[in-house]
């Protein structure tokens, strides 16, 4: 079983992202369960969503305390909230940012880090406004490429099933993100510093 936690802000499509990802994984033949952090959501406030995926039927029905992976839709959450709480050592973090994975040395100490400029891609494809782009399909394209868990065909089918508007723009954003994701394995910075010493 793989457990994911998604962090975003109200209005970015975080809960929809967890549902879309669940549909895409389901189309790959997997058992899935996705749910929001149970509470009251407001535009701009931190939003958390969860996803479980397995090849066997899922049994647990409680919140995810120790995720294997994080997807961060809003980089301003890093530093203002402890997004890595409970993240398993050696887990993965995918961040929406125009920075490189190596720009997150503290995260690289305990996790593999990937980055994607999902906001830039969303804006280019007219998804949401420049001040608040809707980044969920772009970051999921990056997730598909980064993990190899989902084919582009399933991602596109999931978008067609779940996204009510701008379907072509969302597919284009996900496709562009697939080839733009950058990755650095855990310990990257530590290794580089050791070489300098």
Half-sphere exposure of 60 (CA within 13 A, CB side): 15
Query: Could you say which of 65, 80, 89, 179 contacts another protein (CB under 8 A)?
Result: 65
Decide if 169 contacts 126 (C-beta within 8 A). yes
Decide if 69 contacts 94 (C-beta within 8 A). yes
Q: Enumerate residues 168-197 that contact another protein by CB under 8 A.
A: none
Residue placing its CB nearer to another protein in the complex, 85 or 106: 85
Decide if 93 contacts 109 (C-beta within 8 A). no
Residue placing its CB nearer to another protein in the complex, 28 or 103: 28
Query: Could you say which of 43, 44, 45, 58 contacts another protein (CB under 8 A)?
Result: 58
Query: Which x/- pattern, by CB under 8 A, does the window 11-50 give for another protein?
Result: -------xx--xx--x----xxxxxx-x-x----------
Closest CA to 14 of 63, 55, 75, 74: 74
Alpha-carbon distance of 179 to 141, in angstroms, equals 9
Query: Could you say which of 42, 45, 63, 81 contacts another protein (CB under 8 A)?
Result: 63
- Contacts with another protein by CB under 8 A lie at 18-19, 22-23, 26, 31-36, 38, 40, 58-63, 65
């Amino acid at each position: 079983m793989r457990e994911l936690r998604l962090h975003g802000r109200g209005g970015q499509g975080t809960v929809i992202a967890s549902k879309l990802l669940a549909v895409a994984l389901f189309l790959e033949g997997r058992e899935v369960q996705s749910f929001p952090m149970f509470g009251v959501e407001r535009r701009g406030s931190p939003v958390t969503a969860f996803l479980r995926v397995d090849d066997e039927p899922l049994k647990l029905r409680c919140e995810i305390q120790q995720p294997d992976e994080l997807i961060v839709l809003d980089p301003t959450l890093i530093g203002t909230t402890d997004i890595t709480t409970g993240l398993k050592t050696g887990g993965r973090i995918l961040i929406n940012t125009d920075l490189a994975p190596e720009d997150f040395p503290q995260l690289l100490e305990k996790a593999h880090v990937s980055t994607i400029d999902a906001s830039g891609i969303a804006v280019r494809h007219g998804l949401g406004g420049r001040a608040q782009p809707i980044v969920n399909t772009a970051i999921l394209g990056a997730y598909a490429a980064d993990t190899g868990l989902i084919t582009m065909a399933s991602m596109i089918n999931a978008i067609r099933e779940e996204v009510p508007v701008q379907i072509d723009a969302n597919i284009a954003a996900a496709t562009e993100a697939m080839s733009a994701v950058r990755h650095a394995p855990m310990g990257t910075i530590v290794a580089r510093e050791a070489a300098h010493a």
